[in-house]
Amino acid sequence: MKTMKKIAFSIFLILVVAALALSVFAAAQDSHEKKGRYLVKSNDKLLKTAFAVQHNFEGGFTSELTDSQAKALEQSGVEVEEVVLYHTLAKPSAVVTRTCTPSVQKPWGVVKVNGGSGGAGVNVTVLDTGVNKNHLDLSVKLCKDATKSGIQNGCTDRNGHGTHVSGTIAANGGADGKGIFGVAPQANLWMVKVCGSGGSCWSDDIATAIRYAADQGTNIISMSLGSDSESTLIRDAIAYAVGKGVLVVAAAGNDGPADGSIDWPGANAAVVAVGAIDSAEAVASWSSRGVNDGDYVKEAREVEFGAPGVSVLSTWSNGCYATLSGTSMATPHVSGLAAKLWQGSAAATRTYLQDLAKLHDLHTPGDDTATGFGLPVSP
- Residue pair 300/269 in contact (Cβ under 8 Å)? The answer is yes
CB-count burial class (<10 Å; 0-12, 13-18, 19+) for 283? buried
Of residues 77, 1, 3, 80, the one with CA closest to residue 37 = 80
**Annotated active-site residue in 55, 161, 164, 363:** 161
| Cβ-Cβ contacts under 8 Å for 243 (sequence gap 6 or more) | none
Active site residue 224: no
Report how many helices (DSSP H) and strands (DSSP E) the chain contains, helices first: 9, 18
How far apart CA 20 and CA 119 sit, in angstroms, is 52
Report the C-alpha gap between 138 and 167 in whole angstroms: 7
Catalytic residue among 55, 128, 205, 367: 128
Q: In 3D, which of 19, 23, 18 has the Cα closest to residue 35?
A: 23
Q: Which segments of 255-358 are extended strands (E)? A: 272-277, 305-308, 312-315, 321-324
Q: Is the peptide bond before 265 cis (omega within 30 degrees of 0)?
A: yes
Active site residue 161: yes
| Strands annotated E in the chain | 35-40, 53-57, 60-66, 80-82, 85-88, 98-99, 123-128, 140-145, 152-153, 188-193, 200-202, 220-223, 225-226, 247-251, 272-277, 305-308, 312-315, 321-324
List, in sequence order, every residue forming a beta bridge with 170; answer none if it has no partner. none
Widest pairwise Cα distance in the chain: 76
> Which strands sit side by side in the sheet containing 225-226, from one edge to the other?
200-202, 85-88, 225-226
285 is catalytic: no
Contact 121, 188 (CB under 8 A): yes
Torsion angle (degrees, nearest 10) of CA 318, 322, 325, 327: 50
The one catalytic residue in 328, 335, 363, 368 is: 328
Q: Kindly give, in sequence order, each residue whose CB lies less than 8 Å from that of residue 177, ignoring residues fewer than 6 positions away.
A: none
Q: Which helix (H) or strand (E) holds 355?
A: helix 346-358
Residues with a catalytic annotation lie at 128, 161, 328
